[in-house]
Amino acid sequence: MNFEEIFRKTNKISMSVVEALEKNKYNTLFIRNLDDFVPTLSYMGYEKFLKEKVTNLLNSDFLFRGLYCSKRPFCYSWQNDEWLGGNLYLKENYSFRKSEILIDSFLNTFSETFLEDGRLASLSVLLRDNAFPIPLFNPRTGAIIEELIKLNNRPNFDLDEKYGINIKKILENSFENRYFLNKGLFPKITYFGNLQFLNCLSNDQQNLISFPSKKFSPFIKVYKPAKENSSMLHALNLGIKVFNSNKLEGKLKYFLKNINDELINKRGFVSTSSTLNQVNDQDYRLSMNHPIIEGFCDSYFFHIKDKKLLNIVETIANAWLHVRFPNKLFPYNPNSNISWLDDQIDVAICFGRLYELTRKEEYIDLAIETIDSVFEIHYSTPKRGLVEKVDKRGNIIDSTINPKYNALAIKAWIFLNEVILKNKEIYKDKKVYEILKDR
């Protein structure tokens, strides 16, 4: 591997991403993906640029008293994880005062907008200056729960005392979800209100329910169950670490068991849904698999030193190695001829995690090989960036240079520089762990 060449290409990718963000007139790309841009671009030296961009958002029309609400009158709590996470990164790592102001405004508004009887709603309706939380829960909301737990873990800081956000109670209540208690997984949507005729949203048949109104489609149709459940798994892992709760650890063991039983097939592929007997290979997307690998690795390292967890993760990894292309890239799904950019870097970093947990040299080799192939095959010299899709022969299928995915691909260089060259470990260096996580 030519580290200097990858660093040179990463510099060009960074410049290309910054140029794209400067051209994005209304800052929509930047604000909705803030936590995808801030850690990687700041690592590459664009701290000043990021601060200027965030400062320009103080009076954005997309903000409702500090909350990111782009589809009014609807506002989604799960869409705010990137906004809060990016500002928190700037505040914690660069003492950025404007981000501190935005976070304070965010937290002052959050409770009245999304909390309903100690539970976190995924949806709120905004009418003029008032917000009305709707008692519906989508497990993608785990992402904002995770950010709030991280925020609450700061020294001498209590979200409940200052802002009325009891994040431990919110996390515990989320896992008292009726569907989860019965099935050990989260469905796309759960109703937790008092209207009896909507209780069908919490029963075993809730996935059969459809909403004819297009106004509901952005909420109902967000992510597939595997991706959504990984968000709750990440939140639970962090919650147990911060709150040291035996009760929550019991939920984690139950959760991991059901993810394994219901979402992972005999070959080791993670399904996009829990109907394993009704899916085909198109439903085993790589993008749904690496978040589960990461979640299981975190569970093993931080909480449950059970080799069975590592065996499950290695089974998933081996399933994908069996369908890997000769050019060392991975397919979008087991039968696909397409390599999708965003999957590749996260998979490579998952191999890095597996190496740290197993000390098997083959995994660090796989991580390096994958990154090397991405920068060799996906990179476009004329466009100074990584194209979105190539086929298994290396032909470009989609030449789009997506600024978000290119910003995230900078994690490849960070992994090489921090883990390979500087001999740091993902699980032993807090900053490396934060910047390389897939969220």
Per residue in 39-85, pLDDT (tens digit) is: 999 999 999 999 999 999 988 889 999 999 988 999 999 999 999 99
Share of the chain above pLDDT 70, in %: 91
Q: How confident is the model at residue 248 (pLDDT cuts 50, 70, 90)?
A: very high
| Least confident among 205-214, 242-251, 358-367 | 205-214
Identify the pLDDT of residue 355. 98
Q: How confident is the model at residue 198 (pLDDT cuts 50, 70, 90)?
A: low
Q: How confident is the model at residue 101 (pLDDT cuts 50, 70, 90)?
A: very high
pLDDT at 197 over 70: no
Dihedral angle sign, alpha carbons of residues 208, 209, 212, 213: negative
**One-character DSSP codes across 147-168:** HHHHHHTSTT--HHHHHS--HH
User: Interior CA angle at 433 toward 431 and 439, to 5°?
Assistant: 115
Q: How many CB atoms lie within 10 A of CB 61?
A: 11
State both tokens at 186.
Answer: 């989260």
Q: How confident is the model at residue 223 (pLDDT cuts 50, 70, 90)?
A: very low
The pairs formed by 365-372 with CB atoms below 8 angstroms and a separation of 24 or more are: 366/321, 367/415, 368/1, 368/416, 368/420, 369/328, 370/328, 370/329, 370/330, 370/344, 370/345, 371/1, 371/6, 371/344, 371/345, 371/412, 371/415, 371/416, 372/1, 372/6, 372/328
pLDDT at 415 over 60: yes
pLDDT at 201 over 60: no
Mean pLDDT (whole number) for 394-422 = 97
Identify the pLDDT of residue 27. 85
Per residue in 342-353, pLDDT (tens digit) is: 999 999 999 999
Q: Identify the DSSP state of 270.
A: B
Q: How confident is the model at residue 218 (pLDDT cuts 50, 70, 90)?
A: very low
Task: Calculate the alpha carbon distances from 205 to 176, 188, 201, 230, 333 in Å.
Answer: 18, 12, 8, 22, 28
Per residue in 18-34, pLDDT (tens digit) is: 999 999 877 889 999 99
Identify the pLDDT of residue 192. 86
Per residue in 80-89, pLDDT (tens digit) is: 999 999 999 9
Domains of the chain in sequence order: 1-28+264-439 (1.50.10.20)
Identify the pLDDT of residue 200. 54
Of 314, 364, 373, 313, the closest CA to residue 343 belongs to: 373
Identify the pLDDT of residue 117. 87
Identify the pLDDT of residue 325. 97
Identify the pLDDT of residue 194. 73
Specify whether the CB–CB gap between 220 and 189 falls below 8 A: yes
Share of the chain above pLDDT 90, in %: 79
Mean pLDDT (whole number) for 355-362 = 98
pLDDT at 212 over 80: no
Mean pLDDT (whole number) for 228-244 = 95
pLDDT at 324 over 80: yes
Task: Calculate the alpha carbon distances from 394 to 330, 338, 398 in Å.
Answer: 12, 9, 11
Identify the pLDDT of residue 199. 54
Q: How confident is the model at residue 336 (pLDDT cuts 50, 70, 90)?
A: very high
Place of tokens 């909507």: 198
pLDDT at 274 over 70: no
Q: How confident is the model at residue 411 (pLDDT cuts 50, 70, 90)?
A: very high
Identify the pLDDT of residue 400. 96
Identify the pLDDT of residue 77. 96
